[in-house]
Chains A and B, each alone.
Chain A
């Protein structure tokens, strides 16, 4: 780890990279790659003392666990699968809204007698009693599978490690069922597989993840705080609307009640009766109606670019973990 710099790992290729870059750009942070697309190091324009490391998603997870990068963008599925005792080594700071995929348990569609995990536990036990062998589960998610099956009382199975085209394993006779990642379920369907009713093990998406095992000196902390402040400010701005109105007749207590009703926060109130509230995007029209009912002539609803706050929930989450 180079000294006194915050190292942020981002995916080095494909859709995940585009989405990650877009995510940072939205927060006003430009990921700038060193000379040419082949350089594996870069900087974050707008924040000093940050080094960007371009890595594959699975490498990012490994580096986070080892503490050789401070923060990174990677899938929750990888975090939960590859980091033993993930909770003690990393902190999932915020989901990023892309890279959605579910890790699911899928059996052949022909198993019309198997709808859920309890059925599977029963069938697996019967299978073993009858054949003296365990049912085989093809997957690359060995640890997730083991935990989920144990939680659901499925004991009589055997994992067959599969690193590609897992969905083809049952048809090829390499396994009886699979645990795999799916986005639309189309590939499963094409292979005559179905997801069990309670067979979604994990709803995964890309996350901004912090390593708690990395060395967090003052410089790294400050850089992280700045980045997280911008991310939080953009997220707050994107998900909320600013609502303004002139309601001189409305009492303080009534206003507070109304705000609570629409999950809004009072950002300001002038002596003259001007009020400014921030509320979730979806609630803005209802809040506007409510204000008109209580004497407002006009209500304006607007979107802002950033909402910086003295309290930064993302940074506080991380700071609490780092101690």
Chain B
């Protein structure tokens, strides 16, 4: 049977993968299969809940079968004496994600690198190692797509748009909404209430307006604000006021965003195109682009050929999670949502997990069964 062979291939292929990662200095991490659920729900969001195999222990605490490795490996690293120092881990094992059709158990291998200050070199190493390991396990040729969430974030910042527009654009793009649709919506989304007050406050002395709204809230005796501070509420309320009569995102900036997102193809050519775009529009993207070019150099040094990869400016994977380099590798005929390898840099994660200072982190996961999907099918 094809599937049976496929599974056997996956098992032995996984071992080959792991051996290569361990030999490259990535120590094997073996987090327990049963994990506290809270960390996954906190970090991956409630959408994950529908895919978790959840259970409760006798004390009522929520547990789950591990749906992935990065979080447990990160948590274990932070709890260890190595926390904050450079450390590299590999893993291999089952992950569990519910799906309505078929088994919810998948074999996943992967690698994580924490605490390295030479980010571009670490990025290139993760990409190179994961591709090498997959090739050793018999992956055949893979199509590699690369992107840069840090570059995109810096580009958005450089546009100097109002904060709520920025949030709207980020959220929209993260959900695959087209730019036109995003700009159609207004952050004030046409709600009429308070419009008179907002109009009156608009253009008023900022501090005075702020004091007024804060006073009104305190007169109303409102102290419980559900975890948001009165000044936060006031600030956003006034921000809405200033956006209300504003022209939205000016056309030239809209065009610029569209132009930026349209850049794709050969990574070196793309870098040149982005430099030109930045200098034409007088935006300072040099730090992010220097880092981008440096990363390409490190890839070449690791024996990779950037020209064989496809860069896409709009490819950022999950913008709320990834902070820099991102990549995916697909089998030639695979569906876009079924990469064999997916990874990237996530410098914010360890901080949100409780690290005292920011710890750089980059890693990749390999869906071992997908390596053998078409071989066995």
Contact = CB atoms under 8 A, between A and B. Distances in A.
Contacts of A130: 232
Contact of A110 (B46, B224, B240): B224
Interface in A81-125: 85, 107-113, 115-116, 118-119, 121-123, 125
B140 interface: no
Interface in B191-241: 191, 193-194, 213, 217, 220, 222, 224-228, 230, 232-233, 236-237, 240
Interface in A236-283: none
A157 interface: yes
Q: Give the most central of B193, B213, B220, B224: most A CB within 10 Å.
A: B224
A107 B226 contact: yes
Contacts of B314: none
Contact of B351 (A132, A143, A149, A197): A132
B189 interface: yes
B308 interface: no
Contacts of B228: 108, 111, 123, 127, 176
Nearest to B191: A115
B226 A111 contact: yes
B170 interface: yes
B172 to A, nearest CB: 8
B46 A159 contact: yes
A116 B189 contact: yes
Nearest to B62: A161
A226 interface: no
A41 interface: no
A79 interface: no
Q: Give the most central of A133, A135, A146: most B CB within 10 Å.
A: A146
B323 to A, nearest CB: 13
Contacts of B320: 125, 128, 155-156
B305 interface: no
Contacts of B224: 108, 110, 170-171, 192
A175 interface: yes
A134 B42 contact: yes
B233 A110 contact: yes
Given A122-B168, A132-B351, A175-B226, A150 B47 contact: yes
Given A109-B222, A110-B222, A159-B49, A126 B236 contact: yes
Interface string B344-377: 0000100110000000000000000000000000
Contact of A113 (B50, B222, B237, B352): B237
Given A122-B167, A132-B352, A155 B45 contact: yes
Contacts of B49: 142, 146, 159
Q: Give the most central of A112, A143, A153, A171: most B CB within 10 Å.
A: A112
B355 to A, nearest CB: 11
A153 B187 CA distance: 13
B154 interface: no
B226 A112 contact: no
Contact of B225 (A111, A126, A129, A145): A111
Contacts of B191: 115-116, 119, 197
B54 to A, nearest CB: 10
Contacts of A156: 45, 320
Nearest to A150: B47
A133 B42 contact: yes
A146 B225 contact: no
Contacts of B217: 110, 112
A89 to B, nearest CB: 13
Interface string B153-196: 00000000001100110111011000000000101010101100
A119 to B, nearest CB: 7
B100 interface: yes
B58 to A, nearest CB: 17
Interface residues of B, number: 42
Contacts of A134: 42, 45
A192 B351 contact: no
Interface residues of A, number: 46
Contacts of B100: 85
A113 B210 CA distance: 13
Contacts of B227: 127, 135-136, 170, 173, 175-176
B249 interface: no
A119 B189 contact: yes
Q: Give the most central of A111, A136, A143, A156: most B CB within 10 Å.
A: A111
B41 interface: yes
A159 B237 CA distance: 26
A111 B233 contact: yes
A158 interface: yes
A8 interface: no
Interface in B70-121: 100
Contacts of B237: 112-113
B193 A115 contact: yes
A119 B164 CA distance: 10
B45 A110 contact: no
Interface in B320-352: 320, 348, 351-352
Interface in A183-198: 192, 197
Contact of A170 (B41, B174, B226): B226
Interface string A155-180: 11111000000000011010111000
Q: Give the most central of B45, B225, B227: most A CB within 10 Å.
A: B227
A171 B227 CA distance: 9
16 contacts: A85-B100, A108-B224, A110-B224, A118-B187, A121-B171, A122-B171, A122-B236, A127-B227, A127-B228, A132-B352, A142-B49, A158-B41, A158-B45, A170-B226, A175-B227, A176-B226
The 4 closest A-B pairs by CB, nearest first: A113-B237, A108-B226, A115-B191, A170-B226
